Amino acid sequence: MQIMTRRQFIVNYSLAVGAMMGAGAIPFGLVPIKPAFAEDIKFIESNCDNRGKKILVAYESYCGSTSEVAQTIADVFCNQGANVDLRHIETIKDVSSYDGAVIGSAVKSASWYPNAIAFVKENQNDLKHIPVAYFLTCLALYYDTPETQELAKSYFNPVLNAVPQVKPKEIQSFAGMLDYSKMNMIFRMVMKSKMKKQRIPEGDFRDFNKIESWAEKSAWPIMSTV
């Protein structure tokens, strides 16, 4: 599978959408092609300097909402006495000092974002020796049914297949957020049309009680028993 950088993805996607819509629909020069997502999105990072296990909570997010999911997980670990680094994947240089890692990504086209998969791949030699948990956020879980649960679980397949040496002890999918104000005009149009067909409205569908509960009851026991 080819892994694209964020810049490559944005450029390719914008060009592809532009081509699909036809030169007549977007006269060259009239609609500037901006990055697909807003530039003022905040990617939360924090440290919690306890003396316990050193845990990395790493995430990829494009519209920003997955960073608060990751922060919730990091806060739970912090309250359990762990020494936690919450990091946006793009700022992580080295994972060799961690005792455990939770890695998550928003979903785009039925997969983690390519750079989240690339991060696991690049760091597999360290990650395969420590307990790892994966999570994702998506909109399939706007409808909570056995079918959508199964679909959301399948979104892990690209990363599981790309890096089989890293075996997460726990994987979990969460409902995410849809915020058109974070997308550029072209992306907003494409997403609006897709979401209309699937009858998914704009909104915040993250369930922070569920996220906290998963962090405390499922992810933390894995991290703390190393």
Ligand X SMILES: Cc1cc2nc3c(=O)[nH]c(=O)nc-3n(C[C@H](O)[C@H](O)[C@H](O)COP(=O)(O)O)c2cc1C
Q: Which residues bind ligand X (CB under 6 A)?
A: 61-66, 106-110, 137-140, 176-178, 191
DSSP β-bridge partners for residue 107: 112
Minimum distance, C-beta of residue 91 to ligand X, in the bound complex (Å): 16
Q: Tell me the residue number closest to ligand X, measured at CB.
A: 176
- 3-state class (DSSP) for residue 174: strand
Residue number, 12 or 165, with CB nearest to ligand X: 12
The answer to whether the beta carbons of residues 56 and 87 sit under 8 Å apart is yes
- Contact indicator for 115, 60 with CB cutoff of 8 Å: yes
Please return the burial class of 45, using the count of CB atoms within 10 Å of its CB with bins 0-12, 13-18 and 19+: middle
Whichever of 97 and 209 has its CB closer to ligand X, that residue is 209
CB of 47 to ligand X, least distance (A): 21
**Based on CB atoms, which residue is closest to ligand X, 80 or 172?**
172
Shortest distance (Å) from residue 192 CB to ligand X: 11
Q: Please report which helix (H) or strand (E) contains residue 170, including its range.
A: strand 170-175
- In the complex, least distance from residue 83 CB atom to ligand X, rounded to whole angstroms: 25
Report d(CA 211, CA 226) in Å as an integer: 22
Q: How far is the CB of 5 from ligand X (least distance, A)?
A: 16
| Encoded tokens for 75 | 């806060």
Where in 50-196 does DSSP place strands (E)? Answer: 54-60, 83-88, 100-106, 132-138, 170-175, 177-178
Nearest to ligand X of 89, 140 (CB atom): 140
* Least gap, CB of 164 to ligand X (angstroms): 22
> Cα separations (Å) of 217 from 25, 80, 115, 221?
52, 11, 28, 7
CB-nearer residue toward ligand X: 116 or 130: 116
Looking at the Cβ atoms of 57 and 82, the one nearer to ligand X is 57
Instruction: Confirm if 143 and 180 have CB atoms less than 8 A apart.
Output: no
